[in-house]
Structure 1
Amino acid sequence: MKKERADASRNRAVLVTTVREMLAEDGIDKITMDGLAERSGLGKGTVFRRFGTRAGIFRALLDEGERDFQNRMMSGPPPLGPGAEPLDRLVALGSERLRFLLANREIARAALDTRTPVPFGPPARAIHLHIRMLLRQVPVEGDDLELMAMQLAAALDTPLLLYMPLDGDGPPESEIEDRLTRGWESLIRRVCR
Structure 2
Amino acid sequence: MCGRRLLPVVGQPQPERADAARNRQKIIEVAARMIAEHGADELSLDEVARVAGVGVGTVYRRFGDRGGLVYALIDEQERRFQTAFFSGPPPLGPGAPAAERITAFLYALVDRIVAQQGLFLLLDKGDKAQRFGGPYQVHHVHLAGLIAQACPRADATYLADALLAQANACLIAFQQEQRAMTHEQIKARLAWLAETVIRGQEQGR
TM-score range, shorter chain: 0.7 to 0.9
Taking the aligned partners of 1:179 and 1:64, their CA distance within structure 2 comes to 28
1:173 alignment counterpart: 182
Q: CA deviation at 1:12?
A: 2.1
Give the TM-score of the pair, scaled to structure 2. Answer: 0.77
Q: 1:162 to 1:25 in 2, by over 3 A?
A: closer
Confirm or deny that 1:47 pairs with 2:59.
yes
Which of 84, 96, 99 is the equivalent residue of 1:87?
99
Q: CA deviation at 1:169?
A: 4.0
Confirm or deny that 1:64 pairs with 2:79.
no
Q: 1:9 to 1:111 in 2, by over 3 A?
A: farther
CA deviation profile, 1:15-52 (whole Å, cap 9, x unmatched): 11111111222222332111100111111011112222
1:5 alignment counterpart: 16
Q: Does the 8 A contact of 2:124 with 2:169 survive in 1?
A: no
Instruction: For 2:90, give the aligned amino acid.
Output: P
Q: CA deviation at 1:126?
A: 1.6
Q: 1:146 to 1:166 in 2, by over 3 A?
A: closer
Taking the aligned partners of 1:176 and 1:145, their CA distance within structure 2 comes to 23
Instruction: For 1:180, give the aligned amino acid.
Output: L
Taking the aligned partners of 2:87 and 2:166, their CA distance within structure 1 comes to 23
Q: What are structure 1's unaligned runs of at least 5 residues?
A: none
Q: Does the 8 A contact of 2:78 with 2:135 survive in 1?
A: yes
Q: What are structure 2's unaligned runs of at least 5 residues?
A: 1-11
Q: Which runs of 4+ in 1 moved over 6 A?
A: none
Confirm or deny that 1:163 pairs with 2:171.
yes
2:146 alignment counterpart: 134
Taking the aligned partners of 2:20 and 2:201, their CA distance within structure 1 comes to 45
Give the TM-score of the pair, scaled to structure 1. Answer: 0.82
2:123 alignment counterpart: 111
SS of residue matched to 2:131: coil
SS of residue matched to 1:24: helix
Q: CA deviation at 1:114?
A: 3.2
Q: Does the 8 A contact of 1:57 with 1:111 survive in 2?
A: no
Instruction: For 1:119, give the aligned amino acid.
Output: R
2:197 alignment counterpart: 187
Q: Tell me the C-alpha RMSD between the 2 structures.
A: 2.6
Taking the aligned partners of 2:143 and 2:156, their CA distance within structure 1 comes to 9
CA deviation profile, 1:35-94 (whole Å, cap 9, x unmatched): 100111111011112222223322221111211111101001110001111111111111
Tell me the number of residue pairs that the alignment of Structure 1 and Structure 2 aligns: 189
SS of residue matched to 1:126: helix
